[in-house]
Amino acid sequence: MQEFDFTLLLHKRFTGEITPSESAALDAWLEQSPQNAQLADQYLRVWAEAPEGRTHDFRLDMNAEFRRLLVRLDGADRRTPAKTVTIGRMWMRVAAAVAFLLVATWGYRQFMAPAPGVFVENVHRDGGNRLVVLPDGSRVWLRQNATIKYPEQFFAHERRVELTGEAYFDVAHRAEQPFRIGLEHGGLVEVLGTQFNVRAVAGADETCVLVRSGKVRYAPTGKSESTILRANDRAVFSRKNAHLSLTKAQTLNELTWQTGRLEFDSTPLRYVVADLEKHYGATIEVQNKEMLDCVYSNTLTVQTLEEVLESFSLIYKFRVSHPASGHYRLESGKCN
């Protein structure tokens, strides 16, 4: 851990924003030496004694603060008789002074400096999908009725946006600047370098996260409890039951609204049929249940359902009938 990292982690612990991995790293740093614990205690006292409601007219004189802190540390040693100050102890005092000033400077920049403006991107009810390019170059596709909020410029320590509705994210990788998505009901998604979809529709009970590539950390309630999702992982959280369901997606065709295509790669027909029903809003009845284990590979873009089922009849020897509006029946059949 770098020398300055602990100040940010301490602040995040005090505000309740620290993640489990960050908390473990901070604990390990505190246990490394008594000096680390002492510096952390000094920071805690500064935090606890800081007055609330400071205005933006705060001014920080680095030179004066540095001299004042060294005088206080030197005075504390003078009040302790028969105590030798070693070179190591002197450098520890200097390190403590520098750490204090770094904390003060960082705190000023994060909490005293004027906050950047906020843009609000809102997809209209009668509109289609919209591509939004964020300040870091990340791309977000918003589905109809989705809203995303983000700052004009991201803070140095994180990139944070707020989402309501459904959106597909292609996040620019910056290991030193985590990308976090706050959800309407308090959930939090932290990106670890990935492409993924988030559905958090206002008024709906369930929130869904589906990862296309890479991995993300998902905290359903925004607290320390979280889970890591990797490629093809699908997490659904029910607020009503406080239950998180984790599954492996057999296809990624929930993303058809963004990709514009259905993709199947040696996919069992049971999953192909389910995706076709959802995409076309129809019912497809396969009478020979053994056929559901046959595999299918293709990419569908502008084909109608009738055209897709006609190709099924050629590939699998199905007899296709259309007994009612929105209802299709596949009879017989043979796997290749």
Please give the structure tokens belonging to residue 128.
């289609």
Domain range spanning residue 308? 261-332
Mean confidence (pLDDT) of the chain: 78
Which of the listed residues 112, 140, 171 is the one where a domain comes to its end? 112
- Residue range 159-196, pLDDT digits in tens: 999 999 999 999 988 888 899 999 988 899 998 778 89
Report the 3 state secondary structure along 57-84.
Answer: CCCCCHHHHHHHHHHHHHHHHHCCCCCC
* Least confidently predicted of 6-10, 137-141, 241-245, 302-306: 6-10
Question: For residue 10, what are the contacts with CB-CB under 8 A and spacing of at least 6?
Answer: 26, 40, 43, 44, 47
Residues 107 and 12 in one domain: yes
- Residue range 69-119, pLDDT digits in tens: 556 656 655 555 544 445 555 555 555 555 555 555 555 444 444 444 567
Residues 68 and 152 in one domain: no
- Which segments of the chain does DSSP mark as H helices, in order? 5-15, 20-32, 34-49, 62-78, 87-107, 256-259, 269-280, 305-316
Residues 267 and 194 in one domain: no
Domain count for the chain: 3
Residues 242 and 126 in one domain: yes
CATH code, domain with 205: 2.60.120.1440
User: Is residue 256 one of the residues assigned to a domain?
Assistant: no
User: Is residue 255 one of the residues assigned to a domain?
Assistant: no
Residues 78 and 33 in one domain: yes
Tell me the β-bridge partners of 58.
none
User: Is residue 193 one of the residues assigned to a domain?
Assistant: yes
Buried b (16+ CB within 10 A) or exposed e, 76-98: eeeeeeeeeeeeeeeebbeebbe
User: Is residue 254 one of the residues assigned to a domain?
Assistant: no
What average pLDDT does the segment 195-216 reach? Answer: 90
